[in-house]
Chains A and B, each alone.
Chain A
Amino acid sequence: MPAPRRARTRLACGLAATAVAAALAFAPLAAVGGTLRQALAWLAALGLLLAAGAALRLASLLAPALVVLLAEYTLVLVGRGGRVHAAAPLVGAGLLLYAELASWAREARPRVRDERPVLTARATMVAASALAALGLGVLVLLAAAVPAGGGLARLAVGVVAATATLALVALVARPTSTRAPRG
């Protein structure tokens, strides 16, 4: 496979990721109005800038891009009031899709020739992840709508989930390198 074609894979993934990020950044703006909308537009622009940077240039911008997009969505949710946003699973799946495409774009180095099974498996994995994320988001929203034990039980579940995630953070942050002799 000639080098330009390999570079096209990288560019296509990067542009697709940027497109998803643009949708994530600007679609929620329709749900709000007034000054909040103007403020969120700036945040959306920043999020898009970071997202494009992460997808096309610097992998280290991935976390800031996700955080800004999440912050924007959180502000939109706050601005909406008490109503549950039914499109939240789409946002979750979109965030995951954006992150996967961006990391794929960084992974597809022009000098490395990916064999077709690798590309097929990766595309399948990304699509399956996005669909699973969508399904999981729907399940979470449905579970949240079920009256189960009142507010205290739900709070307990939330605390357990948050604690588990923080434990996960600690697990990931620990040194994980394992070395074997060279050669």
Chain B
Amino acid sequence: MTRRPTAKIAAYVGVAALALLAGLALGRPELVAVAAPLAVLVVAGLAGARDPELAAEVTVDRERALVDDQVTVELTVRAADPVERLEVLLVVPPGMDGPDGAVRSWAVAVRLAAGEERTVAVPLTCRRWGAYALGDVHLRAHDRFRLFTWERHLDRQAALKVFPVPDALRALVRPFETQVSTGSHVAAQRGDGIEFADLRPFLPGDRPRSINWRATARRGALMVNQRHPERATDVVLFLDSFLDVRGPAGSTLDQAVGAAASLASAYLRQRDRVGLVSFGGFVQWLQPGSGQAALYRLLDTLMETQVFATAAWKGIRHLPPRTLPAKALIVALTPLLDERGVAALFDLLARGYDLAVVDISPLTHAGRAGGEWDELARRLWALERETLRHRYQRLGAAVVEWSDAMHLQQVLLEVEACRRRAGLAPG
């Protein structure tokens, strides 16, 4: 521990010395009577001061939580010698609130007897998704006379992942093409399934149960039903994390991550395979997978998403080919701010991917225009973004602007309607 003398010790010693010297010079015992308590207190403090032997541990009651959940951080301190006052300060990371609404840090002062162990439970409220490392703790011990302080910094790194609360989605963007595995999407192909597709004449090898007897009676020849099979699809969530526009109500990246978590959860419930590409200064990817394990893998990766400023050019060619399987539906969540992200989407369209773009509008997070020129700049910006969306639409992508006021479900319905208008959506 680092020992520091307080301002008091120098003041006491200096004043006591001055008073004693003055008393000696002037022959006044009163000054000695004034100086004596200060000097005695310092001597007693110096005699009794010794480095406190402290041990500390930091634990979190769980490893995963949802936004707005409360987690408890337990700080356990043990002292070999008595500590008159021990300040325990827990650094509250941005995105979390301490007790009584404390931000940045929360501190308590306790008194420890020799050999005593104390556990301080600090409830923290998770306000934002993300991967947190709790356990940044500062200890400051005081001696009985407050002449010295001993300081120590602990960095125990108790990990906590806070996931966004997934939105309940009833309708999702349907893929244009499906994969061969069984799932919940009605495929465009014909085969064994439930949904009726067409009638055709009976051929040797057809099962008798597929004969449509009414059509057979009408046409005078054996007719069989053809059906659409239910197939799974590969969905790749493409997260543009080059830039983030943050406002008082949240940020574009917050919206994107929340939407990605909701979409991943909903698609995986439908037995689809879901992959992730976090495309930004720091590129992360996950190959499409299915099941609960894939969901956790994906959420864990999502939580590590952050804006990492870099000027290096990033393109689709930096991604492993299996990250973007053929026939996959790519749902891009992007604020359309960085040209590398914008270019990557054009590249995906050029490669023939089924692309749906959710344009997370940064205009709502950028704040209100302050004056005439601000308003003009804002309108120009909105116009520029509108032009960009039209360029994507001309190339066959469904693009929908997501303003802060809209629910994700509304956005998805609009994407689906847009794809239907463009003749991309099945049905």
Contacts and interface: CB of A to CB of B under 8 A. Distances in A.
B410 interface: no
B48 to A, nearest CB: 12
A122 interface: yes
Interface in B24-38: 24, 26, 28-38
Contact of B30 (A85, A109, A165): A85
A129 B102 CA distance: 35
Interface in B127-162: 142, 144-146, 148, 152-156
Contacts of A159: 24
Interface string B99-120: 0101001111111000000000
Contacts of A91: 30, 33-34
Contacts of A169: 13-14, 17
A171 interface: yes
B84 interface: yes
Chain A binding surface, main DSSP class? helix
Given A107-B146, A165-B39, A169-B13, A140 B29 contact: yes
Contacts of A121: 84-85, 111
Nearest to A115: B110
Interface stretch (A15-23, A36-44, A131-139): A131-139
Contact of B6 (A103, A125, A140): A103
Nearest to B120: A115
A94 to B, nearest CB: 9
B87 interface: yes
Contacts of A148: none
A103 B146 contact: yes
Interface residues of A, number: 67
Nearest to A78: B26
A157 to B, nearest CB: 9
Contact of A63 (B7, B30, B40, B105): B7
A180 B20 contact: no
A166 B20 CA distance: 10
Contacts of A176: 3-5, 148
Interface residues of B, number: 66
B42 interface: yes
Given A103-B146, A178-B3, A180-B1, A88 B30 contact: yes
A117 to B, nearest CB: 5
Contact of B14 (A3, A63, A96): A63
A145 B43 CA distance: 25
A140 B32 contact: yes
B38 A117 contact: no
A137 B38 CA distance: 11
Interface of A: 2-3, 59-60, 62-63, 66-67, 70, 73-74, 77-78, 84-85, 88-89, 91-93, 95-96, 99, 103-104, 107, 109, 111-115, 117-118, 121-122, 125, 129, 132-133, 136-138, 140-141, 144-145, 155, 158-159, 161-162, 164-166, 168-169, 171-173, 176-180, 182-183
Given A169-B13, A172-B5, A172-B13, 14 more contacts: A74-B22, A95-B15, A96-B41, A111-B107, A112-B108, A158-B32, A161-B24, A162-B17, A165-B13, A168-B16, A169-B14, A172-B42, A176-B4, A178-B1
